[in-house]
Structure 1
């Protein structure tokens, strides 16, 4: 019990110290305007460096990441097939792929996959 209490207190203390350090460092960097401005060979910038990008591109990138992670989840399932029952394995993989197809249909139905409107 004492070990858990000590570990919790150490975690809280370390977290608090790191939060205070981050706050102090961020206040220092906000004061320096030259460091925050974009660099263009010593000249004043011609336009804003923080130009907006297409939200459609962002949604496609998130969709790609979601399906990429799900492929990483599917690969170990193939290895597990050796140690599990075939009927259980087929049920799990079918359910998983059904959820993926349902998610893809939902994205398609909401128009996320249409690049130009």
Structure 2
């Protein structure tokens, strides 16, 4: 069955509507927002956070271990997301005669997960007492 150009009319209408919304939003924000004065004082340009005076550098270094721990959490969390549907549907696989194959694939998956976890432990990423 061939596609006709008329079949794509809803997509074109949606694209035009989205583009129009974006354009109108940009024009409205340009017209409705205030202008920045060129002769600002230092007091006007200070950042304001709950009335607390600013001191120090806002770009203070943060330990890389914090970010590594966050990335590891996301990594293992995503792997759990892959394991949950497998566990829910395992009986269906087993009844279809694929139980051994699917179980073997999960064993390989878990071995790769544990190999990565072993690597992380050996690298000392989870040791917080060292700098």
- Give the TM-score category using the shorter length: 0.5 to 0.7
Aligned to 1:48: 57
Aligned to 2:85: 76
Give ranges in structure 1 of 5+ residues lacking alignment.
Answer: none
4+ residue segments displaced more than 4 Å: 8-13, 15-22, 31-36
Matched, 1:114 2:127: yes
Size of the aligned set, in residue pairs, is 114
1:48-92 deviation line (CA, Å, top 9, x unaligned): 344332111110111011111211221221111111122022112
1:94 deviation in Å?
0.3
1:93 deviation in Å?
1.1
| Alignment partners' CA distance in 2, 1:108 and 1:89 | 29
Aligned to 1:100: 113
1:107 deviation in Å?
2.5
1:6 deviation in Å?
6.2
Who wins on radius of gyration, i.e. which is larger?
A: 2
1:13 deviation in Å?
7.7
Aligned to 1:60: 69
Aligned residues: CA RMSD: 3.9
Aligned to 2:47: 37
For normalisation by structure 2, the TM-score amounts to 0.60
For normalisation by structure 1, the TM-score amounts to 0.65
> Kindly tell me: are residues 44 and 9 of structure 1, through their superposed partners in 2, closer, same or farther at Cα, counting changes over 3 Å?
same
**Which residues of 2 match residues 14-33 of structure 1 at below 5 A?**
14=18, 18=22
